[in-house]
Chains A and B, each alone.
Chain A
Amino acid sequence: MTDLIKKSKGSDSTKVPTKSILIQGEEYITNYSKKYENRKKWVKPDDKLVYSYIPGTITEIYVKEGQITQKGEKMLLLEAMKMLNSIIVPVSGKIKKINVKVGDKIPKGFLMAEYE
């Protein structure tokens, strides 16, 4: 069974830690992970900005720029995953800008419209 024992791959560390992390008042010297370095900054959600929650195609737009709409009205149709998804007006008010037109293919998180 001696050939069962082979050198393990986990290499001895050569990276010299240069970063630090603050936890409960203590600052620890350490390395960051890629994921930690690439973490997204949080932004406070704003009802006046209408983002797509799923990638898809705009198939219908029921509103115009400058129009005053009521919360709950149909705003546009976003076809995604073989479904026609209604995008609903999130706040009552005047539409400042519409950033899409019928036929546009948009990714998730795309700013479709802005309210005043």
Chain B
Amino acid sequence: MAVKNKIQELKLKRQQVEMGGGEEAIEKQQALGKLTARERVLALLDNDSFHEYDLFVEHDARDFDMDKKVLHGDGVIIGTGTIYGQPVCIFAQDFTVAGGSLGMMHARKITKIMDHALKMMVPLIGINDSGGARIQEGVNSLAGYGEIFFRNTLSSGVIPQLSVILGPCAGGAVYSPALTDFVFMVDKISKMFITGPEVIKTVLGEEISMEDLGGARVHSEITGNAHFFAESERECFEQIKKLLSFVPRSNDSKVIQIESKEPKAKYSINNIVPNDPKQPYDIRDVVKAIVDDSDFLEIQELWAQNMVIGFGRINGLTCGFVCNQPLVLAGVLDVDSSDKAARFIRYCDAFNIPIVTLVDLPGYLPGIDQEHAGVIRHGAKILYAYSEATVAKLTVIIRKAYGGGYIAMGSRHLRSDFVFAWPGAEIAVMGPEGAANIIFRKEIMSAKNPEEMRKKKVQEYKEKFANPYVAASRGYVDSVIEPSETRKVLIHAIEVAKNKSISGPKKKHGLPPF
């Protein structure tokens, strides 16, 4: 055969395999409003940057007449490419081929690209769209999942791992995304659950739709499994690109510094926060008044909204923001918000992203449900995460910082490098009302007019202690600053802390309360 013919043969073979499960299956996929695996990879990566491997891999299952079945690419596409010119490794399960079911060779392709990602120290993106284990391949299929989970754990904190759920992801399959750093879900397309509606109906007699059980909205608002919620696949890809623009490609490389831009004039830092600590405002407006171009990428926007986390740049460098949100539940710490902040702090620490903490909270949320849900155990996570982090930690106390909440939110005592406070900050063991009621109980009880005495004592306490200067007099606060100085002092602090290097006692690993 002439070389020309051989090239022709290759082209034909490629064409055939690239059709995945064939025209009919592709039409079905499209009818569900979904792109095909190949379309997704091409839409996400830079134009012409995708290089595919293992296109001609085939399964060698024999049982249940599997030897008569041809599954193109064994139901998954793997390869490398670039996003904004930065290399990434990627796999995408192909639902048109045997429902994207995971067999041994399918798993081997995934683990091959995972190994590459770890060796080359580049981000891994996994697009999940699979009916689950390929039952005909039995325990080999389970082995495949296990090999994937192991690699997810090995890569954790070394390279960014992104899971994109664009179809069903059920049973054991959910645990690969759960082990990764960021989970992306799309409304009405993504579904994640351990046991599906059918099993629940048989066992419990309860009827629920896939969407209500484990749709994108459920995981974004209720469980906290999803980090990004999108209305469409295209929007989801934009979110992925945006996230990757903020994070370094591995724990060994620096984030790309871009040109610094002043925050937008619309966010005037002097006019956002009300003086009265009982009045709410949107902490995100303060973040936008600090970060470059007022560009803030919020993570887990819909879950535990009393805590705001996300990425923004200061002087062109990425910072992770951890902020109380007075707009929701007065910005308290509770089970979910502690969990949310702690995981994000550990992400920033693992990838050397400076942590900026904006503090304005009345403390931990009181309630039987919170106590019984384990607020002690979960609340401890945030203390652990801050204490453990060795990356630059910069804290700005905006307004209230009372009691345990003060300690938890990146305080000096957990080794924050720089602690700033605005002049309106109230750093105290508790709010003036509560404190006065305890300290001056006798005076109040024995007064002719207890209510008047109480008010007087609250005012007295407020004047003496509800300010940043008591903490500043002990050096717990390094500097009391004007709100308008915030960006400037943070730019400087980040610059100074650039080469921060500390190490703790030798240990195999710590034991965070999870």
**Interface on A for B, CB 8 Å cutoff?**
1, 3-10, 12-13, 15, 17, 21, 23-36, 39-40, 42, 55-56, 80, 105, 107-108
Contacts and interface: CB of A to CB of B under 8 A. Distances in A.
A55 B242 CA distance: 44
Closest 8 CB pairs of A and B: A24-B434, A25-B433, A28-B330, A10-B298, A13-B282, A25-B434, A26-B431, A4-B245
Contacts of A35: 222, 336
Contacts of B368: 42
B181 interface: no
B278 interface: yes
A1 to B, nearest CB: 5
Contact of B329 (A13, A25, A27, A30): A30
B437 interface: yes
Contacts of A56: 203
Given A10-B297, A24-B433, A108-B204, 4 more contacts: A1-B259, A26-B362, A30-B280, A39-B367
Nearest to A21: B330
B262 to A, nearest CB: 13
A5 B258 contact: yes
A42 B330 contact: no
Nearest to A40: B369
A27 B310 CA distance: 28
28 contacts: A1-B245, A1-B258, A4-B242, A4-B245, A5-B261, A5-B293, A8-B242, A8-B310, A10-B296, A10-B298, A23-B330, A25-B431, A25-B433, A25-B434, A26-B432, A28-B277, A28-B330, A29-B278, A30-B328, A30-B330, A31-B327, A33-B328, A35-B336, A39-B369, A42-B372, A107-B204, A107-B205, A108-B204
A9 B84 contact: no
A9 B297 CA distance: 7
Interface in B271-313: 277-280, 282, 284-285, 292-293, 295-298, 301, 304-306, 308, 310
A55 B222 CA distance: 22
Contact of B306 (A5, A12, A33, A40): A33
Chain B interface category by residue count: 35 or more
B296 A23 contact: no
A113 B434 CA distance: 45
Contacts of A28: 277-278, 280, 326, 330, 362
A56 to B, nearest CB: 7
Interface string B366-406: 11110010000000000000000000000000000011000
A28 B365 CA distance: 12
A26, A31, A107, A108 pick with most chain B CB within 10 angstroms: A26
Contacts of A107: 204-206
B242 A6 contact: yes
Given A1-B84, A9-B301, A30 B295 contact: no
Contacts of B238: 6
B363 A24 contact: yes
Given A10-B310, A31-B328, A55 B284 contact: no
A105 B284 contact: no
A10, A55, A108 pick with most chain B CB within 10 angstroms: A10
Contact of B296 (A4, A8, A80): A8
A71 B29 CA distance: 58
A12 B295 CA distance: 12
A98 B454 CA distance: 56
Contacts, number: 126
B77 interface: no
B328 A8 contact: no
B320 to A, nearest CB: 14
Contact of B258 (A4, A32, A34, A55): A4
A113 B256 CA distance: 65
Contacts of A17: 280, 327
Contacts of A39: 367, 369
B328 A10 contact: no
Nearest to A107: B204
B413 to A, nearest CB: 21
A1 B256 contact: yes
B221 interface: yes
A26 B204 contact: no
Contacts of A27: 278
Nearest to A16: B280
Given A17-B327, A39-B367, A56-B203, A23 B332 contact: yes
B430 interface: yes
Nearest to A38: B222
B336 to A, nearest CB: 7
A24 B301 CA distance: 28
A26 B434 contact: yes
A40 B368 CA distance: 10
A68 to B, nearest CB: 33
A8, A25, A31 pick with most chain B CB within 10 angstroms: A8
A5, A9, A55 pick with most chain B CB within 10 angstroms: A9
